């Protein structure tokens, strides 16, 4: 019987906010950040990011059942499965590579993806983007030296010991505590009771934590209750934030696409707003890699325009099992007893036997949290902006663009330096009650 290599994915957290300000916001936009992939990471790094973005949209569509709220981190899922991919072989490796859109075989991908993750990390005033990985293995077992070395050198994934056989609950508590520490206590009890057992041999965990202030701040004094139209036609009252500033906005597949940059411009939230609540399903159906790429090209060519922006203040949270969605995308062998993770070489540490323990992936868990508001910790921080300038004494300024997100929309959080999609979701309205 195969040992259960239980992979826990997610613990992805985004806290987005801007410091409250009593002043009118400047009509400005953060200076754009050059995308350094080709120069710094090379074509293989760019291919890895293109693959991540393709998986992001596949994963979103496979997960977006119904019309309720949803928030996922495909970057977290891709990274965690990437840890297991390094130990996969033959048909299992081929299947993972196809479903996750990895451009390279396991060892080469680990090196490239590790460099991509290092490039994306941010630790600066007003914004933080941190990625953490960790592997817990049952006492008395050991992994391939090469596998462990690659986990440490490419993914900074520390190896920890746990006694799943003797005290699975204590091991679960330890892992959950580590996740809480990596996510500012926002993700709690990622692994529920019963998810690990005496049969669990290892647990892989990835966390992504992002906290950033808006480049153009909302004033808390301007936030007030307003109507939000749901897909079914009902109307709910929600806190709506308001500001007038310069944003890049374009049309995309019958919707408005707006770029809301975070401080310093390394990160942005993209809001894809259908023309009406009923248009959400159509927009989601047509949202594919080529469509999004075309829309982003169009957005990149757009100039920042004077914009009257309305956005809900909201929170999203999601926790669940990813196996059904991943199986729908074609990840089947890796989740079955036929899986081949022989490159990990899970063997007894204190035995002369060199026979590998057969390994299969267990339940794949994912948990996310999103907080979007107008508050932040650095209200007086300086931000580089480019003001709106109208040349010619006889030329009248264009009327402001109105971007009013008062009905369901799709949102993406992207690293503008690499183009990588970190988070993707849907805000459909406040939860019932």
Neighbours of 391 (CB within 10 A): 5
418 versus 33: which is more confidently predicted?
418
| Spatial separation of the C-alpha atoms in residues 70 and 66, rounded to whole Å | 10
115 versus 1: which is more confidently predicted?
115
DSSP assignment of 381-422 equals: ----EEE----STTPPPPPPEEEE--S-EEEEEEETTT--EE
Examine residue 25 and state whether it is found in any structural domain, yes or no: no
pLDDT on residue 268:
93
Question: Which tokens go with 46?
Answer: 């760019």
pLDDT level of residue 274 (50, 70, 90 thresholds): very high
Same domain, 344 and 277: no
Give me the mean pLDDT over the 86-90 stretch: 95
Q: Which domain holds residue 282?
A: 216-312+377-427
Neighbours of 111 (CB within 10 A): 14
Instruction: Indicate whether 414 pLDDT > 80.
Output: yes
Its pTM stands at 0.89
pLDDT on residue 186:
86
Q: pLDDT tens for residues 175-230?
A: 999 999 998 888 888 988 988 888 888 889 999 988 899 999 899 999 999 999 99
Q: pLDDT tens for residues 353-411?
A: 555 777 777 888 899 988 899 842 222 111 111 222 223 344 566 789 999 999 999 99
Residue 72 pairs in a beta bridge with 424
Instruction: Indicate whether 85 pLDDT > 60.
Output: yes
413-432 b/e with 16+ CB inside 10 Å = b? bbbbbbbbbbbbbbbbbbee
| Spatial separation of the C-alpha atoms in residues 172 and 194, rounded to whole Å | 9
pLDDT on residue 228:
98
Examine residue 98 and state whether it is found in any structural domain, yes or no: yes
| Spatial separation of the C-alpha atoms in residues 132 and 83, rounded to whole Å | 12
219 versus 2: which is more confidently predicted?
219
Question: Which tokens go with 339?
Answer: 């899986």
Examine residue 350 and state whether it is found in any structural domain, yes or no: yes
Examine residue 394 and state whether it is found in any structural domain, yes or no: yes
Same domain, 113 and 225: no
**224: CATH:** 2.30.39.10
Same domain, 323 and 262: no
- Of 371, 390, 405, the position where a domain reaches its end is 371
Lowest mean pLDDT among 220-229, 343-352, 409-418: 343-352
Contact 310, 271 (CB under 8 A): no
Residue 28 pairs in a beta bridge with 387
Same domain, 96 and 184: yes
Q: pLDDT tens for residues 280-332?
A: 999 999 999 999 999 999 999 999 999 999 999 998 888 888 999 999 999 99
**329: CATH:** 3.30.497.10
Q: Within 13 Å and on the Cβ side, how many CA atoms surround 104? A: 19
Contact 139, 117 (CB under 8 A): no
Contact 69, 425 (CB under 8 A): yes
Same domain, 192 and 320: yes
Examine residue 121 and state whether it is found in any structural domain, yes or no: yes
pLDDT level of residue 13 (50, 70, 90 thresholds): low
Same domain, 103 and 235: no
Q: pLDDT tens for residues 17-74?
A: 543 333 444 444 444 555 544 457 899 999 999 999 999 999 999 999 888 999 999 9
Same domain, 108 and 194: yes
Instruction: Indicate whether 334 pLDDT > 80.
Output: yes
pLDDT on residue 198:
86
- Of 338, 353, 371, the position where a domain reaches its end is 371
Same domain, 118 and 173: yes
Same domain, 90 and 184: yes
Same domain, 255 and 358: no
Q: What are the angstrom distances between the C-alpha of 16 and each of 128, 211, 358, 361? A: 10, 6, 43, 33
Residue matched to tokens 């949270």: 317
Same domain, 267 and 150: no
Q: pLDDT tens for residues 139-165?
A: 998 889 999 999 999 999 989 999 999
Widest Cα–Cα separation across the chain: 88
Neighbours of 301 (CB within 10 A): 9
Pinpoint the alpha helices (H) of 140-255: 145-155, 164-182
Contact 129, 138 (CB under 8 A): no
The total of structural domains in the chain comes to 2
Same domain, 323 and 303: no
pLDDT on residue 20:
37
Secondary structure E strands in 232-302: 235-252, 255-261, 267-274
- Of 325, 346, 371, the position where a domain reaches its end is 371
Examine residue 12 and state whether it is found in any structural domain, yes or no: yes
Residue matched to tokens 């630790």: 123
Who contacts 349 (Cβ-Cβ below 8 Å, separation ≥6)? Answer: 140, 141, 142
Contact 342, 289 (CB under 8 A): no
| Spatial separation of the C-alpha atoms in residues 315 and 305, rounded to whole Å | 28
DSSP assignment of 346-372 equals: -EETT-S--PPPPEEE---EEEEEEEE
Examine residue 31 and state whether it is found in any structural domain, yes or no: no
Contact 19, 376 (CB under 8 A): yes
The DSSP bridge pattern shows strands 158-162 and 127-138 to be parallel
Examine residue 232 and state whether it is found in any structural domain, yes or no: yes
């Amino acid at each position: 019987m195969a040992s259960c290599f239980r992979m826990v994915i997610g613990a992805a957290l985004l806290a987005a906010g801007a410091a409250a300000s009593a002043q009118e916001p400047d009509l400005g936009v953060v200076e754009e950040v050059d995308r350094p992939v080709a120069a710094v990471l090379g074509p293989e790094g760019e291919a890895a990011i293109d693959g991540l973005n393709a998986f992001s949209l596949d994963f979103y569509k496979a997960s977006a059942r119904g019309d309720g709220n949803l928030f996922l981190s495909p970057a977290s899922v891709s990274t965690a499965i990437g840890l297991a991919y390094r130990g996969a072989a033959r048909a299992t490796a081929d299947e993972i590579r196809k479903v996750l859109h990895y451009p390279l075989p396991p060892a080469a991908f680990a090196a490239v993806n590790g460099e991509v993750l290092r490039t994306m990390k941010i630790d600066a005033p007003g914004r933080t983007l941190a990625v953490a990985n960790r592997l817990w293995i049952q006492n008395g077992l050991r992994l391939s030296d090469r596998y462990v070395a690659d986990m440490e050198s490419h993914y900074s994934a520390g190896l920890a010991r746990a006694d799943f056989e003797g005290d699975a609950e204590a091991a679960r508590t330890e892992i959950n505590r580590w996740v809480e520490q990596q996510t500012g206590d926002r993700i709690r009890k990622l692994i529920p009771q019963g998810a690990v057992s005496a049969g669990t041999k290892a647990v892989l965990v990835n966390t992504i934590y992002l906290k950033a202030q808006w480049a153009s701040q909302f004033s808390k004094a301007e936030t007030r209750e307003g109507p939000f139209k749901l897909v079914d036609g009902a109307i709910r009252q929600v806190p709506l934030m308001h500001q007038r500033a310069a944003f890049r906005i374009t049309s995309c597949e019958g919707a408005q696409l707006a770029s809301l940059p975070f401080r310093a411009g390394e990160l942005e939230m993209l809001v894809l707003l259908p023309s009406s609540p009923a248009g959400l399903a159509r927009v989601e159906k047509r949202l594919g890699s080529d469509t999004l790429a075309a829309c982003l090209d169009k957005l990149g060519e757009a100039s920042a325009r004077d914009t009257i922006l309305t956005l809900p203040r909201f929170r999203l949270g999601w926790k669940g099992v990813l196996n059904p969605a991943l199986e729908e995308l074609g990840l089947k062998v890796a989740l079955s007893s036929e899986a081949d993770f022989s490159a990990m070489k899970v063997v007894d540490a204190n035995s002369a036997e060199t026979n590998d323990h057969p390994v299969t992936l267990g339940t794949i868990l994912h948990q996310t949290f999103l907080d979007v508001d107008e508050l932040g910790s650095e209200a007086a921080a300086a931000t580089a902006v480019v003001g709106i300038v109208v040349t010619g004494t006889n030329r009248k300024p264009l009327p402001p663009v109105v971007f009013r997100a008062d009905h369901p929309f799709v949102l993406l959080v992207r690293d503008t330096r690499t183009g990588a999609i970190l988070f993707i979701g849907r805000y459909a309205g406040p939860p019932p009650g």
